[in-house]
Chains A and B, each alone.
Chain A
Amino acid sequence: MTRKLVVIGAGMASGRALEHLLETAPGAFEITLFNAEPRGNYNRIMLSPVLSGEKSFEEIVTHDDDWYATNNVRCRFGEKVLKVDRDRKVVVGEKGEVPYDTLIFGTGSAPFIIPLPGHDLPGVVAYRDLEDTNAMIDVSATPGAKAVVIGGGLLGLEAAAGLRLRGMDVTVLHIASHLMERQLDAAAGYLLKKDLEKRGINVILEASTEEIVGDGKVERVNLADGTVLDADIVVMAVGIRPAVTLARDSGLDCGRAIKVDAQMRTSDPDVYALGECVEFEGNLFGLVAPLYDQAKVLAATLTGTDAAFVMKELSTKLKVTGCDLFSAGDFAEGDGREDIVYRDPARGIYKRLVIEDDRLIGAVMYGDTGDANWFFGLIKDGTDVSDMRDTLIFGPAYQGGGSADPLSAVAALPLDAEICGCNGVCKGTIVDAIEGGATDLGALRAVTKASASCGTCTGLVEQLLEVSLGDAFEKPAAQPICTCCELSHEDVRRLIKSQELKSQEAVWQELGWKTVNGCHVCRPAVNFYLLADWPLDYHDDPQSRFVNERNHANIQKDGTYSVMPRMWGGMTTPEELIAIAEAAKKYDATVKVTGGQRIDLLGVKKEDLPAIWADLNGAGMVSGHAYTKGLRTVKTCVGSDWCRFGTQDSTGLGIQLEKRLWGSWTPHKVKLGVSGCPRNCAEATCKDVGIICVDSGYQVGVAGAAGMDVKETERLVDVTSEEAAIEWTVAFVQLYRENAKYLDRPYKWVAKVGLEWVKDVLSDEAERKALVERFDVSQSVYQTDPWAERADPEAARMFQPLADLSLKAAE
């Protein structure tokens, strides 16, 4: 006897289920198929090639009219199901009722639309069905049309790539700090972003969309930071929601989606569900592989065979031609988990394997995914990989064979093989130079220029030295930045400049970091190098800063903070003193006069910081940066204003210098002193920059210290005007910012590079002025009062605890 089967929804899951059913039990069912879209089954995941023009819609149809006709499937396409009456066992469509013995929900999911202002304007589309795809294709026909894609996940990026291939100007807005954050780690996300940008797709991360604007149709998208993007179409691809309204209204047990058991049965034994509309053991489904498994189980169940659905590992690939990306399993770090990371900066390749208990549990790869299926198999099968661990990352081709020796590879290179791409130096030239006596890297660089520019070939050049010299070669023991990386601080600085690396992810990837995102030693250093070199492109990262710089106050041993307002050149007023005193009383602070001519308020609680700053701001004071690797104080004496020996206005010069230099970030703290005469009451001769005023002008000294080491300044220059003294000081500070190793005070840095070199550079007037100009560009971004910035309620909220459960009972 034939059973009446009604299927609601002609998606990929239900389509596959019908195929299985008709194969194993042809004629057993009288099938009616409802679909809200006016067409039957097609391969929805191939909409991306349709959008990009690489395929036509006809090519992705899986079941055409003939198929339905041959298999006697009654199609009710374009007709919505109004309700399901389970008591009478009928499905009520817009054009009448259909009775069922067995019912299948394949209602899938609906795109999630963020209810931003303007989300309902014509021209805002989701990326879900052929209608959306066609709407995008239509808009792209207009020359110069602009698209904004909200969402940097799989779907959003496929939409963006498709629109770009159709010649549109495309911007992707993504709320997280890297693309596809659910599937990729930050390093792979960086490579993906770089690839997309190479294709001309603009990517804005951490984008907060405020509203979509337009008169009658979409015209613009406004971001919270004030950015305005013109748009002829806005694609929202931020996620999907299971379509469960119909099921819920018919009284089926639903959680986030329709609850099913391992046989895909709902709470009603005659009703089944599969695909994106189901919830199984708390899981929802968005990828196609488990949907096909569900289809198999459902068909088996309906034909009386035992089958059960089980959750499996999933993998992801991005269907953007030329973007090779693969992600599978669990790639988070964890206890007992070990990472094997392989980076090839020049080829844009990144592979990361996560191993736990000698088994591969996760893999992310970018740029070369040829072995992805093999790795995925190891994950799914839980294979013991301990025997092949050392060559695992090189893929199946290397299993069972010996590991390659890099030296023999270099030895085998022909003499005309190019080693240094920047300078066009081939192996023969280098070997000749070595035989001619250039037996270390420095000499080779000087003689041949090999590895002297971007430095990526340094390893190869060293191997050539090793091959040519054998045991006579001693690898230079440059102190690496930390254990995350083999490069020295100086190399990292040089490579950031020469390779124009402008983000932390770029540094980790291109310079071969061995950890996922650095450590507490290298991150603050890299953060500083990036902002010093690219003040306009790079954004300071608070999470790579030591607590004092993140909270803009000095942490003390009991976890309280100290607060210190600026006193320009050590000057203050009765009004400021009253405000400081009142703040000290209000926040119960201890008052201390510091060695840098300022007043320190000690013992302030973290959550009180924004409030005490607001009070001090209100009296006209700004942060004294007593906590930064930046300008601290400019100590002065009273100079010619009051002192009978004072030769120049040392207080005024100190104030001018402090106003010019405050707020700048430097490799370490910087302190200045200006004394009005050689009696040196401001102790200027043990500062990073110390100026002694004399009758004939100003003696500028640098590289003094009065900390761990005590050291007198060395004379940099004598000048006759305040302007010249300021210009030399600013240029010196900028030279230090651009060249020194992070956490080297100026005296240490000058000892390394030599005062003569510093003098030579700064004596060149053009170079001196250029340094000053670069300093001022940086100040245009960074000279802001951090106290005032954190006075707004949203910023201040971050200083409060996330939650306070102390008043609740702890049980």
Chain B
Amino acid sequence: MSWIDIGALADVPVRGARLVRTAKGCVAVFRTDEATVFATADACPHKGGPLSEGIVHGQKVTCPLHNRVFDLNTGRAQGGDSEQVATYRLRVEEGRILLDTTALSRRTAA
């Protein structure tokens, strides 16, 4: 695992998201309540909508372009939509968010 400090927990609004740029595309970092964070690829598999701009509810996000709803735990779309978005591991330590970039680099190899 390769944990990188991407910023303060307080910089992500509760029930909101922020964007992290990486060499392999953008990652959306979500904060669903005071202490819980998730990360997924930012682009909706449907038409590339920026998930970091969606409305966050429960542990789900709704794509702002066409209302696809994704479970932040699995990246799977809800209901009849079969799309899936990549998810990444995060942890919070002393108020900082750490992102596991292993999966991001693995994508390079693939």
Contacts and interface: CB of A to CB of B under 8 A. Distances in A.
Contacts of A802: 6-7, 11-12, 18-20, 29, 97
A805 interface: yes
Nearest to B22: A805
A332 B33 contact: yes
Contacts of A516: 58
Interface string B1-43: 0101011000111111011111110100100111110000000
A803 interface: yes
Contacts of B12: 802
B105 A810 contact: yes
B20 A805 contact: yes
Contacts of B67: 520
B55 A523 contact: yes
A680 interface: no
A520 B69 contact: yes
B45 interface: no
A182 interface: yes
B48 A176 contact: no
A763 interface: no
Interface in A515-539: 515-520, 523-524
A801 B14 contact: no
Contacts of A177: 14, 34
B16 A333 contact: no
A523 B105 contact: no
Interface centre among B14, B20, B23 (most CB of A within 10 A): B14
A542 B12 CA distance: 13
B65 to A, nearest CB: 7
Given A810-B101, A810-B104, A805 B58 contact: no
Interface in A498-554: 515-520, 523-524, 542-547, 550-551
Interface centre among A519, A557, A559 (most CB of B within 10 A): A559
A117 to B, nearest CB: 20
Interface centre among B29, B60, B62, B64 (most CB of A within 10 A): B64
B101 A185 contact: no
> DSSP class of A's interface residues: helix, strand, loop or mixed?
loop
Contacts of A803: 6-7, 20-21
Given A802-B29, A805-B101, A810 B23 contact: yes
Interface centre among B26, B34, B62, B74 (most CB of A within 10 A): B34
Contacts of A186: 33
A805 B6 contact: yes
B16 A185 contact: no
B77 to A, nearest CB: 13
Contacts of A545: 55
A557 B23 contact: no
Contact of A546 (B20, B48, B55): B55
B41 to A, nearest CB: 13
A804 interface: yes
Contacts of B2: 811
Interface string B38-82: 000000000111100111111110101101010101100000000
A396 interface: no
Given A801-B21, A802-B7, A805-B101, A515 B57 contact: yes
Nearest to A515: B58
Interface string A171-209: 000001110011001100000000000000000000000
Contacts of B101: 805, 810-811
A808 interface: yes
A806 interface: yes
B58 A804 contact: no
A555 interface: yes
B20 A804 contact: yes
A181 to B, nearest CB: 4
A334 interface: yes
Contact of B33 (A185, A544, A559, A798): A185
A550 B21 contact: no
B15 A801 contact: no
A335 interface: yes
Contacts of B64: 546-547, 555
Given A517-B57, A519-B58, A555-B64, A810 B22 contact: yes
B7 to A, nearest CB: 5
A147 B8 CA distance: 31
B31 to A, nearest CB: 10
A543 B71 contact: no
Contacts of B6: 802-803, 805
A806 B58 contact: no
B102 to A, nearest CB: 9
Given A520-B55, A543-B55, A803-B6, 18 more contacts: A332-B32, A517-B15, A517-B57, A520-B67, A523-B55, A542-B13, A544-B15, A555-B50, A555-B64, A802-B6, A802-B11, A802-B19, A803-B7, A805-B6, A805-B23, A805-B101, A806-B22, A808-B23
Interface of A: 176-178, 181-182, 185-186, 332-335, 515-520, 523-524, 542-547, 550-551, 555, 557-559, 798, 801-811
5 contacts: A185-B33, A334-B73, A555-B65, A808-B4, A810-B105
| Pairs of residues from A and B, 6 with the lowest C-beta to C-beta distance, nearest first | A335-B73, A802-B18, A520-B62, A181-B34, A803-B6, A520-B55
